[in-house]
Every structure is written in structure tokens, then in C-alpha cells.
């Protein structure tokens, strides 16, 4: 049946266009990357100390037996402003290094009666040593 003069011809419109495949796939890939990133992070460690000399967020590493096992994320003052709170994140799989009696200390160059120690930090900067 032909439309008469002044009548509209109604056609069925597609529900979706193939152009939408690209943004949908991109969103799925982005969601997968976020999930993978957060699911593969190691444990967060909070250290309380009297000062943060030589400690920089994003730069200072945590080492165990000279192997990098984590990085300091940030250093802030505690609520009572008397100590420094250091938030660090260990690499994935390093949870086994943490125990109730694990010891952390800052390694930096020192000169004393016993001799010179920490000379390796002159070029690389201070780091935090972890003794499991």
C-alpha cells in the first residue's frame, strides 16, 4: 500500500548500531585492568617512627636481603603530632615476610666509632630494611 500525499511512511529503526561495540569493549578492558591492579596488590604496612628523615613517598624502597620488596606510599604526622606514620605497600607475594616480630629500620650512611656503614645509600638514597 503506497502512502497517500501527506501521510508518513513508517520504517522500523535498528535497535543498536555496531559503532557501540568499540566503547563497550573499551569499558570492559578498563574494568578488567582496574580489577587486576587492585587484586594483585600486596599488603599495606603502617610504620610509626619519631622522624621521617630520608623517607619520601613513592621513592623510598623497602628491602629485605638487598632485594626490593615494597615501596613507601606516604609519610604523615600522627593525629597527636608527636610521631610520623609511614604507609608502605609490599609487592604481591611478599606477605610471607611479615610476622608478629618482624623488624623495620631505616638504612642511611653513618659514621661512628664502629666504622662507616650504609655507604651504598649515598647514591641511591635511604631505604627501609625489613628483617622477617
- Quick count: other Cβ atoms within 10 Å of Cβ 132? 13
Compute the half-sphere exposure of residue 117: CA atoms within 13 Å on the CB side of its CA: 8
Instruction: Check residue 53 and give its pLDDT.
Output: 87
| pLDDT at 107 (0 to 100) | 86
Per-residue model confidence (pLDDT) at position 49: 92
pLDDT tens digits, one per residue of 2-32? 656 777 777 777 777 788 899 999 999 999 9
Q: What is the pLDDT of residue 1?
A: 56
Each residue of 31-89: pLDDT tens digit?
Answer: 999 999 988 899 999 999 998 888 999 999 999 998 999 999 999 999 999 999 999 99
Pairing between β-strand 84-90 and β-strand 44-49 as defined by DSSP bridges:
antiparallel
Q: Is the pLDDT of residue 123 over 70?
A: no
Q: How far apart are CA 48 and CA 79, in angstroms?
A: 12
| pLDDT value, residue 120 | 64
Per-residue model confidence (pLDDT) at position 121: 65
Say what the pTM is. 0.68
pLDDT value for 11: 79
Show contacts of 110-113: CB within 8 Å, 24+ apart. Answer: none
The domain ranges of the chain are 44-131
Amino acid at each position: 500500500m503506497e502512502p497517500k500525499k501527506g501521510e508518513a511512511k513508517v520504517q522500523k529503526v535498528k535497535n543498536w548500531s555496531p559503532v557501540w561495540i568499540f566503547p563497550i569493549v573499551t569499558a570492559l578492558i578498563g574494568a578488567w585492568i582496574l580489577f587486576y591492579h587492585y587484586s594483585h596488590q600486596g599488603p599495606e604496612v603502617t610504620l610509626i617512627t619519631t622522624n621521617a628523615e630520608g623517607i619520601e613517598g613513592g621513592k623510598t624502597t623497602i628491602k629485605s636481603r638487598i632485594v626490593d620488596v615494597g615501596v613507601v606510599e606516604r609519610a604523615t604526622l600522627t593525629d597527636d603530632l608527636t610521631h610520623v606514620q609511614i604507609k608502605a605497600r609490599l609487592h604481591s607475594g611478599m606477605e610471607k615476610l611479615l610476622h608478629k616480630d618482624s623488624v623495620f629500620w631505616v638504612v642511611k650512611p653513618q659514621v661512628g666509632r664502629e666504622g662507616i656503614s650504609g655507604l651504598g645509600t649515598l647514591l641511591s638514597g635511604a631505604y627501609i630494611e625489613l628483617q622477617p
